[in-house]
Chain A
């Protein structure tokens, strides 16, 4: 490389002519356009912008120019390099996009492939219905009470005003433990939990008691020797049968929908007096099917009402057996079968489906019912 020239030899720097530079740029642009992929473009970039590229060599020769020409030529070369770089960058983006599109398209999968290698299990719908019922009452301030399934006869019967030789004992066919005289039974109802609640808790008492109960019925489509009930008990000052009715109406609406009401019919239970059968308005036909053969209702058998459970005002004799002053406190109680509730609420047609433990039955319900 020579020092600053005083004498200028245009031949020596012909490479810096405008024509030459323009030709370099054109060549580079053509190469850029011709680059088919990112690897080729990388080579083009090296060839046309790299240290040994024509424009880089031209740039080096600017130093040999007389000062008067340096500025003009320097500007020309700089613009040429910028133009080539722009072409390269633009092509780079194009090629990257093309590559990405290709690769992502290659990675396409069938998203409908079954993904659940270990699918969801299920809770038993009887459990979730009981929890739903409990939650409704917990929201009203009730606690959830529990009691043993092997129960003293005194708690299951005597204290509930079912004396030993009363026909009401034979209303519920009882499993006796050890012997028929042992005084120990499999509880026939959740009502003994009432007795336990009243003996173990402070007044006032508001409890709901779900549980498993037993009667000596053979299993068939509508009977099972092992089934579930939910019991409710309130003991407080000034409770009325209207309060019982209102509580049941609220319960029915929460379970079956707004506006659904209950109906009480006089009946008999030893532990309540007055006693009533509890019917709930048919939540499917709302009673439209009654005397209307054109629109029969399978849920209520076109009766308009569905038998749901029993209820009443706690018999003062029961309060007496647990030492609650019936001149000050009154109680109401109600109970219903969970299997039966599930049958008419969810359309279960065979009791056996609920007890056999076939997972296909529960799986259809998942974690709710």
Chain B
């Protein structure tokens, strides 16, 4: 909403010394967000004079026609000056705006006296665009009147300050000069002249003409419908200069007198109006619901398909407008319209909002109706419009018809102490009452319990809390004390929150970089991951209105985003990338409509459960991608690439960090290399996979060969982590070290052998470590040799050679039984 300061000053007595910025500060303090204060023609430095064209000499010897003009700029401007001008829309004796040498126009254009077209041009006759008043550049400005030598600035609006206010949805009244002026009146304690209450003096002519009839088919949707009729209007009549200036300053383009007047009154009072050509109407004009399948071509030349949810304006010939939103092409006033019907009505905010959303159509009118227009304003506004039309366009007033639903204003009860109690501030009862009256409320009882009727322009005031806000904001938020609640006994971070931080810190300390990728994925990316259609990572959760039609799905795996991040980093010149993400994935499907319980009471437990069950499962995952060089080539030696073992090591690392136990098993996963994939199991359940990516996945993301990754369900891993960790028995007795090597078939994993050895060695085994793997002529084909270092120790004694040997043999026996292992060299 753009509000010219001079217009505001007309409605409220703002102290003369207040600048636009001062006024803006007052409004901001009252809760209206003033985004900018701009000065019209702010780029003009120096004087602009009113001039009268005394003589015009046409210069025809040039490629384009040029005029050599003598312009009287009065004594103040130095008398008569010769000026070269290219425009042709003026005649001798016209009053124009002249910039003399020394004046600087917007864009830093300095006027100088210079020779051009064979004459010394001693100034410039200005167009609106040259002064940055509008985009108008068809000719120079011709003023209706003026005294040569006078300051042209005030006449053409240069120097006018305009406040641009971002109006929040609750403040519909601030979409009018009337509403903004009222806030200023409260702020300055200044008298306020309500233009809405000034009923224009309209006298019906002594004819037997009768006004057009109107109606409302649904009082819930349209509680008030009025129609004023004017006949004999001069369609050639122009809008007065001041009205055009105010419309332009208000951000609207002047069109014609009839349109300009409806817009002007809308800006002034906040009531949208619509003017019809009476001769194009047939029968009563009324608000009603559209029939299914009907259409309307609106003023913006879009044909709208209507439904029974569309409130329309219609006459006996059909639909002529979308109620409170936009008129139709039929019925519009045009350059020949002499008889006019002005519609002023009150439409329900939700009806207009729904239509706007359905038709993706927002207009000056709909913005106001959505936010609530003064319910009583319509007849006042149309009277004001009719008076302006008659004043500037002639014509005769015929009369008004109206239909209105009965209305009973509601009473809001509020303890007078409530604003102070909520603010934590002492606010005297009489101050509460005064402030409520200032905003326009009627305060019916001044006992401890106030009974308040909100003014008709404040449809947002419905609850005691709304009144509290009015009082506290007008007292001033800057007066609020700064206190702290009595501190409570909190629980600190939850286990999950704590452990996620530990995991993030550990990964970062190990060289991994956290990224936060968008969760939007495409069908192509899912296919590129080689996922079969049944895979849980095939996203099922789909957006109805994605930003890109290419990526309508929500991720069910962190990998697409991480792989793309890896590719981006490598593409930007990194030799290796190790990135991780801790984030939600979206699994399962969203089917059916989520329940919408009442908001008047707490939802029942079953309603709340049903609502939550409808949402997809959203577990926290950890994803890691490792690609390219782990260690760059350096003085220490050649580069080392990331590989499958780094991914698996990372899984083991983070399990260790939080004390969880995972098992690594040979796995099959379509995303990974079929022979280099680990299934990660936790408490017997598969929680993810790690290893080298499938070559086709690597190719799809254009990553270096052997790129590797890890993804696991962090919620499950964390759930398995112990709450309290048991202390170990740290023995000070000597260790007994035993090495052994076993030969097993290639199909047997190190994990299986390790597990068997561990189980067979018994409690004395302190640790076991694979230190060599061998395949070659020393072992049978299809077999390999695994060499382990075993450390034995007892908590309470030094082990004897026999004890150690027995434990070692136990390990060998178990490995032989479980894995077919043969002791090497035996």
Q: Smallest CB–CB gap between B425 and chain A, Å?
A: 7
What distance in Å separates the Cβ of A293 from its nearest Cβ neighbour in chain B? 15
Contact pick for B497, options A144, A245, A322, A360, CB 8 Å: A144
B543 contacts A177, CB within 8 Å?
Answer: yes
Say yes or no: A182 contacts B511, CB within 8 Å: no
Q: Is the CB of B513 within 8 A of A267?
A: no
With both beta carbons as reference points, the residue of chain B lying nearest to A173 in the complex is identified as B545
* Contact partners of B591 in chain A: CB under 8 A: 178
- The reply to whether A321 and B599 contact each other, CB–CB distance below 8 Å, is yes
In this assembly, does B634 line the interface, its C-beta being within 8 Å of a C-beta of chain A? yes
> Please, which residues of chain B bring their CB within 8 A of the CB of A143?
490-492, 494
* A344 part of interface (Cβ distance < 8 Å): no
Whether the Cβ atoms of A138 and B492 lie closer than 8 Å is yes
B590→A182 contact, CB < 8 A: yes
Which residues of B512-526 are within 8 A (CB) of A? 512-519
Do A356 and B615 contact each other (CB < 8 Å), given the known contacts A154-B595, A249-B482? no
A182 to B545, CA, bound (A): 12
Task: Give chain B's interface residue range (CB within 8 Å of chain A).
Answer: 35 or more
Residue of B nearest to A131 (CB): B501
Which residue of the partner chain, among B351, B599, B603, contacts A199 with CB atoms under 8 Å? B603
B631 CB–A CB distance under 8 Å: yes
A150 at the interface (CB under 8 A from B): yes
Partner of A355 from B350, B518, B593 at Cβ < 8 Å: B518
Looking at the complex, which one of A150, A159, A247, A356 makes contact with B554 (CB distance below 8 Å)? A150
| Other-chain contact of A127, B31, B469, B504, B541 (Cβ < 8 Å) | B504
Q: Which residues of A contact B422 (CB under 8 A)?
A: 240-241, 274, 313, 330
Q: How far is the CA of A367 from the CA of B647 in the complex (A)?
A: 22
Q: In the complex, what residue of chain A is closest to B484 when comparing beta carbons?
A: A246
Q: Quick check: is B577 within 8 A (CB to CB) of the other chain?
A: yes
The contact of A320 among B30, B600, B630, by CB within 8 Å, is B600
Instruction: Give the distance in Å from the alpha carbon of A200 to the alpha carbon of B427 in the complex.
Output: 36
What separation, in Å, do the CA atoms of A275 and B468 have in the docked complex?
11
B636 with A117: CB separation less than 8 A = yes
**B615 touching A317 by the CB < 8 A rule?**
no
Determine whether the beta carbon of B544 is less than 8 Å from that of A165. no
Chain A 281-302 interface residues, beta-carbon cutoff 8 Å to B: none
A167 touches B371 (CB 8 A): yes
* Binary contact readout B601-624 vs A (1 if CB under 8 angstroms, 0 otherwise): 111000010011011101000000
Question: Is B594's beta carbon under 8 Å from chain A?
Answer: yes
Q: A21 interface residue, CB < 8 Å from B?
A: no
Task: Tell yes or no: B86 within 8 A of A by CB.
Answer: no
Nearest-CB residue, chain B, relative to A125: B514
Bound-state Cα–Cα, A346 to B491, Å: 30
A268-B169, A359-B577 as given contacts; A323 in contact with B569, CB under 8 Å: no
Give the nearest-CB partner of B540 in chain A. A178
Q: Which of A124-179 contact B (CB under 8 A)?
A: 124, 126-127, 131, 134, 138, 140-144, 148-155, 158-159, 161, 163-168, 170-171, 175-179
B546 CB-CB contact with A under 8 Å: yes
**Interface membership of B818, Cβ < 8 A:** no
Q: State the total of A-B contacts with C-beta under 8 angstroms.
A: 302
Max chain A CB contacts within 10 Å: which of B488, B505, B572?
Answer: B488
Residue in contact with A118 in the complex, picked from B463, B577, B630, B635, CB distance below 8 Å: B630
Question: Is B15 positioned at the interface, with any CB of A under 8 Å from its CB?
Answer: no
B599 touches A180 (CB 8 A): no
Report the separation of the CA atoms of residues A154 and B599 in the bound assembly, to the nearest whole angstrom. 9
Task: Kindly list chain B residues whose C-beta atoms are within 8 Å of the C-beta of A163.
Answer: 350
A358 within 8 A of B: yes
Complex: A236 Cα to B484 Cα, angstroms = 12
Docked Cα-Cα span, A275 to B505, in Å, equals 38
In Å, the complex CA distance between A171 and B367 comes to: 12
Q: Does A242 lie within 8 Å of B545, measured CB to CB?
A: no
Which residue of the partner chain A has the closest CB to B357? A170
> Are A120's CB and B508's CB within 8 A?
yes
Asked whether, in the complex, the Cβ of B634 is within 8 Å of the Cβ of A184, the reply is no
Measured CA separation A232–B222 after assembly (Å): 41
A114 proximity list for chain B (CB < 8 A): 634-635
A165 touches B511 (CB 8 A): no
Is B473 part of the contact surface with A, judged by Cβ < 8 Å?
yes
Q: Closest A-chain residue to B517, C-beta based?
A: A357
Q: Which of A149, A199, A247, A263 contacts B484, CB < 8 Å?
A: A247
Pick the interface stretch among B141-149, B278-286, B578-586. B578-586
Nearest chain A residue, comparing its CB with the CB of B576: A118
Q: Mark B468-486, 1 if CB is under 8 A from A, else 0.
A: 1100110001101111110
* Chain A to chain B contacts (Cβ below 8 Å), 21 pairs: A117-B634, A124-B514, A138-B493, A140-B487, A150-B616, A152-B611, A152-B614, A170-B353, A175-B544, A180-B544, A182-B544, A212-B584, A225-B518, A240-B483, A249-B482, A263-B477, A274-B422, A274-B473, A313-B422, A321-B600, A322-B602
A-B pairs, 10 with minimum CB distance: A323-B602, A266-B31, A240-B424, A242-B424, A183-B594, A357-B565, A268-B168, A274-B469, A357-B515, A165-B350
Known: A212-B584, A242-B425. 4 other contacts (CB 8 A): A120-B508, A151-B615, A165-B357, A357-B564
